Amino acid sequence: MSTTFESRYAIGPNETKSLDTNGLRQNFLIDKLFFENKIHFVYSHYDRYMAGGAFPTSQKIKLDTIEPLLKESYFLARRELGIINVGGAGIVEVDGEVYSLDTKESLYIGKGAKEVYFSSNNSNNPAKFYLNSTPAHQSYPTKRVTKAEANKIELGSMETANHRTINQMLLHTVIQTCQLQMGMTELKPGSVWNTMPSHTHDRRMEVYFYFEVPEGQAVSHFMGPVDETRHIWMQNEQAVISPPWSIHSGAGTSNYTFIWGMAGENMDYDDMDKSPITDLR
């Protein structure tokens, strides 16, 4: 079987206060997503969100069901799946239909797809498929969305070190999904802050995946309530779980790119409770 998983149980802000650095990382940091010729997921009990990676280096790999967890004969029996390729060119096959995904291109697969395979065009430059999955109550069509087709938003400035482009890719304003939303934010050279001013949204949770972090550099991800923030130092191609009660923001020692994925009760991208910078503690 090529699909493996681990679980992370949900904890609240009061429990999080007592965690040391190691405890914080064990609960919220996903330190490795890509294993050669494997599909690996972390199952979060916040909104039953799954974040993972498919890394087909030398063979085609299948998205198997996880019987102890999903109790279904195939993975997408009651789920939807979002994919963004962060490696070399690759192919995703969905029930016999072939979709080519180049770097920074995405694919949405709706509930009910039975057979999903991942492969790379070139084993010397393999694809790395970053995966997010959520429960789904409705089946929507599988659809590829390129970076050029994304809804783009320019935010921030060089003066505040947060000039960035938000690429809304698997978002309800671009395609139909049940609750999963995904996109990619690219920071301009010289900018390091993301999602600043910060915010919370108690109606949905989020996962950040940081990549294109230059060798020798890192990102400090900030989380926690507005009045009691914590930080987690992160390396390239690591992800972090952001609970509904937590802010989610970061600053790097260089510019970088990150993928955000969300799920929950409300699909309105702007439904957030903004936190003035001067209120952060």
Q: What is the pLDDT of residues 161-209, one digit of tens each?
A: 999 999 999 998 899 999 999 999 999 999 999 998 888 888 889 999 9
Binding-site residue ranges for Zn(2+): 199, 201, 206, 248
Residue 223 has pLDDT above 70, yes or no: yes
Beta partners for residue 220, in sequence order: 233, 251
Q: What is the mean pLDDT of the chain?
A: 95
pLDDT of amino acid 93? 98
pLDDT at res. 96: 97
Residues 6+ apart with CB under 8 A from 185: 164, 165, 166, 167, 194, 257, 258, 259, 260
pLDDT attached to residue 133? 98
Interatomic CA distance for residues 73 and 84, integer angstroms: 25
Rg (CA), the chain: 18
Q: What was the pLDDT predicted at 151? A: 95
Closest CA to 183 of 134, 150, 142: 150
Distance CA 75, CA 59 (A): 20
Residues in binding site: 199, 201, 206, 248
pLDDT at site 201: 86
pLDDT band at 14; cut points 50, 70, 90: very high
Mean pLDDT of 255-262: 97
Give the pLDDT score at 100: 98
**pLDDT on residue 183:** 97
Fold of 3-279: Jelly Rolls (2.60.120)
**What pLDDT was estimated at residue 1?**
62
pTM equals 0.96
What would the two tokens of residue 232 be?
Answer: 């987690």
